[in-house]
Structure 1
Amino acid sequence: MSITTPPPPPTPASDTKSSASPASAESSARDAAVPRRRSLLLGGGALGAVALLSGCSDDAEPRRDAGGEAAGALLRSRGARDSTALLARYDATVDAHPDLAERLAPLREETARHAAVFTTKDRSASPSATASRSPSAGGQRVPKVPKDEKQALSALAQAERQTADTRTAALATAPPELARLLASVAACGAAHVYLLTQRDTDS
């Protein structure tokens, strides 16, 4: 009689799953933790950058404002001085050539307005505030005016041109609001040059 050896019992499926599940769970947890940690680091770095930029901005802002105010005050002082000098030249030209009074009146009025705006920091300053002879304009050394009428107009146009060029050059260092004012006044000065020389060109 032969004896048959029974086959070994099958390994339970639950044992295979249970032996693989701890490693799989650990790997899944590790993979999930990596993106989360990266997000936290990026978020923290972004917050740190914002805080750093804010700190630099807060520290630099007062210094920039102080520097801008000082530069603006200096440019305004120069603007008022240059406009007052032009005003004195207009007055001297009219004194030497009374027949030019009517022609020069509107240009002088605008020059007086410019002097007022630079002095008072008020763009709404009335032209009549300095339309008459002011002590500052009359107190300056009276410019020498050529005896010839055309030469007198040419000298006045040259003074306007030099002043406009000076103001245009100052735009690079002027605070934004004052730069707009300087650009406007410089353009007005260029128009004065044209009006002062137009008739001589046409004749």
Structure 2
Amino acid sequence: MPAASSASAAASACAAPVTRRRSLLLGGGALGAVALLSGCSDDSESKRETDGGADVALLRARGARDSTALLARYDATVDAHPALAKRLAPLREETARHVAVFTSEGRSPSPSATVSRSPSAGGRRVPTVPEGERQALSALAQVERRTADTRTAALATAPPELARLLASVAACGAAHVYLLTQRDTDS
């Protein structure tokens, strides 16, 4: 019987990281849903949205700039470490959609919207990527975390509709951080 119980314990230990990942992703989805539901406006929020047109434009421009810089970081990381291309592709695609959403100016971008790779990135400097793959993933996770934190801080001044977008994109960034920092052992 001890052998059976140790096999059962080993099986449940192997399932634990998957359960934690699901819990985190479900929690992130729940956070996004709460952000969407809490964005309902009252009169003061409606007034802030109409009075703060310049603020909305500034926040959207900052969101587009941050997402574009993050996209350049993904591209530079893949260029430096081609073996990471498959792992980073879904995260890069989501980041490209964020650029499209922030630059859409009131019209809904296509769900399959992507931003093509550009070697010059509009004349911007190409980000420096650490030599080791682990260090490169860690550096990418740090940039994702800072970007998500910046977006979360911007929620305090954003009008409801933009606040929902910022909360959703920040939650997505937090999920990216989690996925970037996971070891390959549980994939």
TM-score w.r.t. length of structure 1: 0.64
The one-character-per-residue Cα deviations of 1:61-115 (angstroms, maximum 9, x if unpaired) are 9974553211111100000000000000000000000000000000000000000
Partner of 1:175: 159
Partner of 1:82: 66
The one-character-per-residue Cα deviations of 1:147-185 (angstroms, maximum 9, x if unpaired) are 011000000000000000000000000000000000000
Partner of 2:171: 187
In terms of fraction of residues, the more helix-rich structure is 1
Letter in 2 for 1:168: T
Alignment RMSD (CA, Å) = 2.7
Partner of 2:54: 70
CA distance in 2 between counterparts of 1:86 and 1:114 reads 10
Note closer, same or farther for the CA distance 1:168–1:123 as it changes in structure 2 (3 Å cut): farther
Letter in 2 for 1:141: R
The one-character-per-residue Cα deviations of 1:44-72 (angstroms, maximum 9, x if unpaired) are xxxxxxxxxxxxx9xx9997455321111
Q: 1:123-162 residue pairs with structure 2 within 5 A? A: 124-126=108-110, 128-134=112-118, 137=121, 139-162=123-146
- Name which one, 1 or 2, has greater alpha-carbon Rg: 1
The one of the two structures with greater contact order (alpha-carbon pairs below 8 A, sep at least 6) is 2
Q: Which runs of 5+ in 1 are unaligned?
A: 1-56
Q: Is residue 83 of structure 2 the alignment partner of residue 94 of structure 1?
A: no
Percent of aligned positions with the same letter in both sequences?
82
TM-score w.r.t. length of structure 2: 0.69
TM-superposed deviation, 1:126: 2.7
Letter in 2 for 1:85: A
How many residues are paired up? 145
Q: Which runs of 5+ in 2 are unaligned?
A: 1-42
CA distance in 2 between counterparts of 1:135 and 1:187 reads 29
Letter in 1 for 2:149: D
CA distance in 1 between counterparts of 2:111 and 2:45 reads 36
